[in-house]
Amino acid sequence: MEVVNDNSCSWVNDLSPRNNILTLSSDIDCEWLIIGAGYTGLSAARKLGQLYPGQKIVLVDAQLAGEGASSRNSGYLVDTTLNDGFTSNKELDNYKKKADIYKLGIDVIKKFIKEYQVDCDWNECGKYFASSKKEDKKILENFSETLSKLGFEHNLLSNKELKKRLGTNFYNIALHTKGGILLHPGKLVRAMIDTLPDNINLYENSLLLDWKKKNDTVICKFKNGSIKTKKIIFATNGFLKSLGLKSNYNFPITLTASMTRSLTKEEFVSIGEPKEWGVLPVRPMGATIRMTKDKRILIRNTAEVFNPYQMSKSELTKRSLKQKIGIKKRFPELPDDIIQSSWSGIVSRTRNSSQIFEKIDDNVFVAGCYNGSGIGVGTLFGEQIAVKASNENTKEIETIEARNKPTWLPPDPILSLGVRARLIYERFRAKSEI
């Protein structure tokens, strides 16, 4: 496993640099240890900090806190999804369980930003599932039926209306859902770091190398120190498999995205001055594309099995070219050279798009695998895995545990080959939408 800090992501570069970064450099003991400081780990730490003000709680990350996928995502806090990664399950009962979890995820983030007065460019503008292919209307009509049965407000839109709303002629058909929020993921996760309770000891740039259980204690080895803990929560999402956690139930996928600079006044006028919007693809491997509050365009149109996970600059440049083409296809009137940054991020997938939320041993807990929708769900799962690890129960845990559990995956190399083949197939199906 390899994760390094980099300055490739616009969302991170928008923030002021943090100081007082502590790195683990000795051997320590604690009551609680959380590995991974993204939405999941930060949320677990917050909850434990509130539940146990007198106990020693340690949160560790291999890189700077929050600078993994949690600040590198597209910023859609979703209430509904059409595709989860490259699969979709519209069976009503299962879909409702999933949507119930999304709702709780939105609630937990709303509560957090209200309590701490967080400015994260929150915009309840809903989202579009859009396609350039008229024949995708059938998919959207079926989706519309599911949404109607579950009471989600939405409407179908055609090219003319879309051109007005999005500033591009590219899309011929879309379904707009009223629910769903667009936000700045970097600002959100930074607020989670800044407001951690005082009794949380945060160590960054400290990679967990190895861990084992000895009697009732978990012993964790880092490069320059070790931690002995009574209970541990793993919140490493895309890196669960590399730590040997639920290995036959999840696998990492590397995504890349690019963001333009802010459009100039003239450029913005040339596309009709649209309000902020977010489009998700109808076909699983199509592009996610967003117009931000400050008139930047974000595009994500790749998902790959990639080793070693994070991409080098030259690999990123190749993806950035694809993203430039994706923007040009939609906005031919804009200049060619407006991409300001391109970055990669690692997410975790399961076979049936379900999440992991589990006690895997007496004092070992895991939460992760949000299949590309982890802003709300990760924050929810972090909070609730802390409650579960405290041997308590809540309505939220009951809702989470009512979901279908992740299904078994074959070992490598069969798994990697299978996933690669599926990705190629889905890319082919979505080639006009990339």
Ligand X SMILES: Cc1cc2nc3c(=O)[nH]c(=O)nc-3n(C[C@H](O)[C@H](O)[C@H](O)COP(=O)(O)OP(=O)(O)OC[C@H]3O[C@@H](n4cnc5c(N)ncnc54)[C@H](O)[C@@H]3O)c2cc1C
Which residues of this chain interact with ligand X, rule CB under 6 A? 3, 35-41, 60-63, 68-70, 72-76, 78, 207-208, 235-239, 243, 255, 257, 300, 345, 347, 368, 370, 372-375, 378
Is-cis flag, bond preceding 17, omega within 30?
A: no
Nearer to ligand X, 54 or 244 (CB): 244
Q: Which helix (H) or strand (E) holds 304?
A: strand 297-304
Least distance to ligand X, CB of residue 243, Å: 6
Token pair for 135: 């024949």
Spatial contact of 201 and 58, defined as CB atoms under 8 Å apart: yes
Least distance to ligand X, CB of residue 376, Å: 6
Using left for φ > 0, alpha for ψ between -120 and 50, and beta otherwise, residue 377 falls in: alpha
Position closest to ligand X via CB: 374
Token pair for 39: 């939405």
Least distance to ligand X, CB of residue 236, Å: 4
Nearer to ligand X, 212 or 266 (CB): 212
- If one counts every other C-beta atom within 10 angstroms of the C-beta of residue 407, the result is 12
Nearer to ligand X, 255 or 430 (CB): 255
Nearer to ligand X, 38 or 167 (CB): 38
Spatial contact of 282 and 429, defined as CB atoms under 8 Å apart: no
The DSSP string of 332-359 is TTS-S--EEEEEEEEEEE-TTSPPEEEE
Token pair for 13: 């570069």
Beta bridge partners of 32: 57, 231
Count Cα atoms within 13 angstroms, Cβ side, for 266.
3
Least distance to ligand X, CB of residue 409, Å: 18
Nearer to ligand X, 172 or 205 (CB): 205
Least distance to ligand X, CB of residue 368, Å: 5
Nearer to ligand X, 172 or 301 (CB): 301
Least distance to ligand X, CB of residue 356, Å: 10
